[in-house]
């Protein structure tokens, strides 16, 4: 039996940058009065905070003032994951696999003690008061709470926020939700641009989120893969880890919450809001427009009924009071979602149509691969590949420094490569082929 007053918080962090962000703003925001501060003031609320990290990073975290303050609110635990990080660095597993394996441990712990599970990324900056909303939803019987978010440029966000933090005894970082939404647009990350419906650079490969702009006020989001911020697992078997499939994927949500009536999507940033920090990057983006047909193909492969229902729920990210403009934008987004789901319905009823469509895409991708193979001498590493061809690796892990062009091309999504741009690159590069170093001119 789940206890709506008992919670397991979990975060997985490693590496200098993310460990520093976790200590400077991530964890301090979790400690805000309306978040974990509620546990320090209550005799009925019980909490555990599980941090999965390397031995070296754990030593730094333990010395951090925010960690010491955490111990006054909930019971902290640190779990070494040096073996997982070694496998990640050897490219045996991805960073998403590392996080998923840590989440699996936390799912088992929450199920064991009958607690709610709150999954907090180390770069997740949570607005003050979000935990109170989660407590209210837990008390109402909700078993799964899904949230949408946006990314900010971590470096500039930290420079603005961290100096404002209280340097005294209390190191918590209370931020108002609307203030945090405003900071999103001040420190806008290019990643967000790839999910705007009208963007010239839409993420065709992994369209997990869809955004519509409300000028000068915020964004409407339609989430396909939303984050399961709060869940109530009743058995550890509800999460079966599978490679490259995270806690927001096909397996966990449908198992932890079989009844859709127990599912809740946070539809207003005033209720629960957070941003994710991400390093600045200046990679060229592939030019693509959003296509309901493309998205439907992805939805068929990557979603369950809960995902498809959550698509119908608009999420408002707003900096202030919402004007009448929101209704028209939400209506526009509703129309797009309706079209996507109609395509999904057709594909499910006529599998032969989907198979034919997939065949055409495969043929197109094969031609692009052939084109790529003709210019294998051009590029030696992933960074130069992105610069020359404008390809963004949305879900790729770290690329080895010395990959041939062909090896790298096999890992990317060929449909993101514009054939005309490739031809242009070939035309320009063929003139300098004679001076190409031997190490780049053959495999």
299 belongs to a structural domain: no
pLDDT at 253 exceeding the cut of 90: no
Same domain (yes/no): 403, 279: no
Alpha-carbon distance 275 to 300, whole Å?
Answer: 28
Same domain (yes/no): 277, 378: no
Same domain (yes/no): 392, 247: no
Last residue of a domain, one of 256, 287, 318: 287
Q: Which range has the worst mean pLDDT, 58-72, 120-134, 339-353, 354-368? A: 354-368
What does each C-alpha distance from 112 to 1, 2, 75, 122, 328 come to in angstroms? 10, 10, 16, 24, 46
CATH of the domain at 131: 3.90.550
What does each C-alpha distance from 54 to 37, 58, 93, 277, 335 come to in angstroms? 27, 6, 16, 20, 47
The structure tokens 């068929």 sit at 300
When pLDDT is averaged across residues 31-35 and rounded to a whole number, the result is 98
Alpha-carbon radius of gyration of the chain: 23
The structure tokens 């984050």 sit at 227
Q: How confident is the model at residue 418 (pLDDT cuts 50, 70, 90)?
A: very low
Last residue of a domain, one of 258, 287, 316: 287
When pLDDT is averaged across residues 411-430 and rounded to a whole number, the result is 36
Same domain (yes/no): 36, 165: yes
When pLDDT is averaged across residues 363-377 and rounded to a whole number, the result is 50
340 belongs to a structural domain: no
Same domain (yes/no): 100, 178: yes
pTM for the model: 0.80
Range of the domain at 377: 355-441
363 belongs to a structural domain: yes
365 belongs to a structural domain: yes
Same domain (yes/no): 49, 189: yes
Same domain (yes/no): 105, 243: yes
209 belongs to a structural domain: no
Same domain (yes/no): 107, 241: yes
252 belongs to a structural domain: yes
Q: Which of the two residues, 430 and 342, has the higher pLDDT score?
A: 342
Averaged pLDDT score across all residues of the chain: 81
Q: How confident is the model at residue 307 (pLDDT cuts 50, 70, 90)?
A: very high
Last residue of a domain, one of 266, 287, 308: 287
User: According to the model, what pLDDT value does residue 25 have?
Assistant: 96
pLDDT at 209 exceeding the cut of 90: yes
Same domain (yes/no): 275, 390: no
User: According to the model, what pLDDT value does residue 163 have?
Assistant: 66
CA-nearest of 319, 320, 302 to 311 is 302
pLDDT at 226 exceeding the cut of 80: yes
Q: Which of the two residues, 62 and 377, has the higher pLDDT score?
A: 62
User: According to the model, what pLDDT value does residue 83 have?
Assistant: 95
The total number of structural domains that make up the chain: 2
Alpha helices in 27-120 (DSSP H): 27-30, 37-40, 55-62, 65-70, 82-89, 95-113
Structure tokens at 60: 């730094």
Q: Which of the two residues, 60 and 288, has the higher pLDDT score?
A: 60
216 belongs to a structural domain: no
217 belongs to a structural domain: no
When pLDDT is averaged across residues 408-433 and rounded to a whole number, the result is 36
Residue 47, SS3?
A: strand
Same domain (yes/no): 181, 68: yes
134 burial level (CB within 10 Å; 0-12, 13-18, 19+): buried
**Exposed e or buried b for every residue in 204-217, given b needs 16+ CB within 10 A?**
bbebbbbbbebeeb
User: According to the model, what pLDDT value does residue 207 have?
Assistant: 94
Same domain (yes/no): 93, 237: yes
When pLDDT is averaged across residues 16-26 and rounded to a whole number, the result is 96
Q: Which of the two residues, 375 and 207, has the higher pLDDT score?
A: 207
């Amino acid at each position: 039996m789940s206890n709506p007053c008992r919670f397991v918080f979990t975060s997985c962090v490693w590496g200098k940058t993310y460990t520093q962000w976790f200590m400077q703003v991530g964890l301090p925001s979790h400690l805000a009065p309306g978040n974990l501060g509620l546990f320090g003031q209550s005799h009925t609320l019980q909490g555990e905070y599980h941090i999965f990290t390397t031995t070296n990073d754990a030593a730094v975290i333990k010395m951090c003032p925010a960690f010491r303050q955490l111990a006054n609110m909930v019971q902290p635990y640190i779990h070494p994951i040096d073996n997982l990080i070694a496998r990640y660095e050897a490219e045996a597993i991805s960073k998403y696999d590392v996080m998923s394996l840590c989440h699996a441990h936390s799912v088992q712990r929450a199920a064991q003690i009958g607690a709610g599970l709150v999954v907090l990324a180390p770069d997740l900056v949570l607005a003050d008061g979000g935990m109170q909303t989660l407590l209210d939803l837990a008390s109402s019987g909700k078993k799964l709470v899904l949230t949408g978010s946006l990314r900010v440029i971590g470096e500039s966000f930290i420079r603005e926020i961290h100096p404002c933090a209280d340097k005294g005894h209390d190191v918590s970082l209370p931020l108002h939700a609307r203030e945090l939404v405003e900071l999103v647009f001040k420190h806008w990350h290019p990643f967000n641009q790839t999910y705007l419906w009208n963007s010239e650079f839409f993420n065709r490969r992994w369209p997990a989120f869809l955004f519509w702009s409300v000028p000068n006020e915020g964004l409407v989001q339609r989430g396909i893969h939303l984050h399961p911020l709060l869940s109530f697992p009743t058995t550890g078997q509800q999460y079966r880890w599978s490679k490259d499939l995270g806690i927001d994927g096909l397996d966990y949500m449908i198992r932890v919450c079989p009844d859709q009536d127990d599912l809740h999507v946070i539809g207003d940033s005033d209720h629960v809001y957070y941003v994710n920090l991400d390093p600045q990057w200046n990679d060229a983006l592939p030019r693509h427009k959003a296509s309901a047909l493309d998205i439907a193909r992805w939805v068929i492969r990557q979603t369950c009924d809960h995902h498809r229902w959550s698509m119908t729920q608009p999420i408002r990210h707003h900096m202030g009071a919402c004007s009448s403009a929101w209704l028209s934008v939400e209506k526009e987004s509703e129309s797009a979602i309706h079209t996507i789901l109609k395509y999904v319905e057709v594909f499910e009823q006529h599998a032969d149509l989907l198979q034919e469509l997939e065949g055409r895409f495969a043929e197109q991708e094969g031609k692009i691969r052939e084109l790529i193979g003709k210019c294998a001498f051009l590029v030696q590493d992933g960074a130069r590949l992105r610069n020359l061809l404008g390809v963004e690796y949305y879900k790729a892990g770290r690329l080895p420094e010395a990959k041939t062009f062909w090896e790298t091309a096999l890992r990317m999504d060929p449909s993101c490569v514009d054939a005309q741009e490739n031809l242009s690159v070939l035309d320009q590069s063929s003139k300098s082929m004679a001076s190409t170093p031997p190490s780049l001119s053959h495999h």
